[in-house]
Structure 1
Amino acid sequence: MKRTERQRKILEVVRRQDRASVEELSTLLKISYETVRRDLSDLEAAGNIQKVHGGATLPRMFGEGPFQQRMAENAEAKVRISKTAAPLFSEGETVFINTGSTTLYFIERLCETSGLTIITNSSAIARVASNAKTDNRVFLLGGEFSSNNHQTIGTMVAAQARLFQAHHTVMTIGAMDSNAGAMFFSIEEAQTAIAMIEQSQSLTVLADSSKFDQIASFKVCALNQIDRMVCDEMPSGNLSKALENAGVEMIQA
């Protein structure tokens, strides 16, 4: 197993469990304790984990509060979605990425591609992208900082987003309904996402099936504004029909 793949698996384990021991990782990945320790040192240097006696835990910025809870929810599905979505983007493209647990998994896969311009309001996504050993350019939109989700919010963020022109917006959502479209629970996050969509040529939604047939407070876009959606399970019933009628390309991870 290559080093990058080992370290990705280690990070996935730590995120699912909040922490993992050297012994556990050695057994799981069938590698020596020394190799685990070297990989943990690399991951700590990149800011992805924090080494503790006998193993590793998430750094403080990921280890507390509701954001970490969302990172652990449906983690396996989010990893599959990210692996499937990342190859859809190519060198030379400019990509908006909004804040979310799924998009944080996604950026780790996307950074295997070089020559991208990445624009985000997530400090976590910006950090992962800037630490990747690629020549990608990273822009972090400025505004009021929200420590709960490690993101910038407010009218300044939306205004700065409108200074860019992008090939793609990659967006995770709070909910999706056959009539209401894609929605967020936060008005600030919705405003940022709307600005990103307005400034890009195409919209890709990353959504696990827990978001289907749900309602949130703030609409972001109609279904016919979505070009493609990558999901772990295909929607059914009215939502499936509505997405088909809207011409959305559906990709199952």
Structure 2
Amino acid sequence: MSQTFRQPEILDIARRDGKVTVEGLAAHFGVTLQTIRRDLSDLAEAGRLERVHGGAVLPSGVANIGYEERRALNQGAKTAIARACAAEVPDSISLFLGIGTSTEAVARELLGHRSLLVVTNNMNVANILAANPDCDVIVTGGSLRRSDGGLVGPLAMGTIRQFKFDLAVIGCSGLDRDGDLLDYDIQEVGVSQTILRQARRTFLVADHSKLSRGAPARIASLADLECLFTDRPLPEILVRACKSWQTRVVVAPQPSAD
């Protein structure tokens, strides 16, 4: 396979898994380690990947990847995470669902729930839950972020402050090894922090790729949450930290390969 065909597939694998290794790619493509190193160097020079020891990761940067690309990323994992999360959402509660493709997956898994009051700053979540006649939906208002249907800014935060939610489900753009939740948009960070203050319980839904992505703004710590729903075991350093914080970690069953 030529470089022209290898490099787009390398990027696809990096987006799916969050990182790539030289040895893994060499075995996958049946080429030498040196050939893969050249590919990764080319992609790093083009700003598509960041080189790390033994491979490469998606670039941290200061801007999130596109919404449609995020929606397609790790779809099976997001569905498994959403099902595990929705299974712990009781009927007859007040619930906040935040911005993100993972929270949208949770919304789809709530279509059979009953007597929910859902407040959201995510236009996509509102449209999904409109199909559940036993769910009252309140949209916060705010400045529309056209890239993904998110509502942010002072109006969104002001609406959120009028509620005290039984449960909030949020996402993040990155999760570092200190257990900090990260994001790219400082306005969204402000909204997320307001949600945390107004919720009695908070769940985070985040697939494994978030552990390989950096972002410049801090939302909160896993120590501030009740539970993280993800699709792969966490690094041991985070496992120990979550135990000390009494933050539960639920690793969702992997989707079938059939």
Q: Same fold (TM over 0.5)?
A: yes
- State the Cα distance separating 1:111 from its structure 2 match: 2.1
Aligned to 1:225: 224
**Cα separation, 2, equivalents of 1:145 and 1:101:** 16
**Cα separation, 1, equivalents of 2:97 and 2:242:** 22
- State the Cα distance separating 1:221 from its structure 2 match: 1.1
Aligned to 1:149: 148
Question: What count of residue pairs does the alignment treat as equivalent?
Answer: 188
**Cα separation, 1, equivalents of 2:171 and 2:150:** 14
Aligned to 2:20: none
Query: Structure 1 pair 166/112, CA: closer, same or farther in 2 (3 Å)?
Result: same
1:178/1:213 contact within 8 Å kept: no
2:111/2:131 contact within 8 Å kept: no
1:178/1:242 contact within 8 Å kept: no
Aligned to 2:246: 247
Residue identity opposite 1:101 in structure 2: T
Identity %: 20
Aligned to 2:7: none
1:90 is paired with a residue whose SS is: coil
Aligned to 1:51: none
**Cα separation, 2, equivalents of 1:95 and 1:186:** 23
Superposition pairs of residues 1-253 of structure 1, within 5 angstroms: 66-132=66-132, 134-179=133-178, 181-212=180-211, 214-253=213-252
Deviations 1:131-185 (CA, angstroms, capped at 9, x unpaired): 22x3111010111111101111111111111011101110111111232511111
1:99 is paired with a residue whose SS is: coil
Considering Cα pairs closer than 8 Å and 6+ residues apart, tell me whether 1 or 2 has the greater RCO: 2
Query: Structure 1 pair 202/196, CA: closer, same or farther in 2 (3 Å)?
Result: same
**Cα separation, 1, equivalents of 2:222 and 2:143:** 30
**Cα separation, 2, equivalents of 1:189 and 1:112:** 29
1:98/1:171 contact within 8 Å kept: yes
Residue identity opposite 1:161 in structure 2: I
Aligned CA-pair RMSD: 1.4
**Cα separation, 2, equivalents of 1:180 and 1:76:** 24
Deviations 1:7-46 (CA, angstroms, capped at 9, x unpaired): xxxxxxxxxxxxxxxxxxxxxxxxxxxxxxxxxxxxxxxx
**Cα separation, 2, equivalents of 1:238 and 1:213:** 15
1:209/1:232 contact within 8 Å kept: yes
1:88 is paired with a residue whose SS is: coil
Structure 1: state its 5+ residue gaps.
1-64
Rg comparison, structure with higher value: 2
Residue identity opposite 2:115 in structure 1: G
Residue identity opposite 2:181 in structure 1: A
**Cα separation, 1, equivalents of 2:211 and 2:98:** 19
**Cα separation, 1, equivalents of 2:146 and 2:213:** 26
1:177/1:239 contact within 8 Å kept: no
2:66 is paired with a residue whose SS is: helix
Deviations 1:215-245 (CA, angstroms, capped at 9, x unpaired): 3211111221110111100101322222221
Structure 2: state its 5+ residue gaps.
1-64, 253-258
2:113/2:134 contact within 8 Å kept: no
**Cα separation, 2, equivalents of 1:213 and 1:78:** 16
- State the Cα distance separating 1:213 from its structure 2 match: 5.6
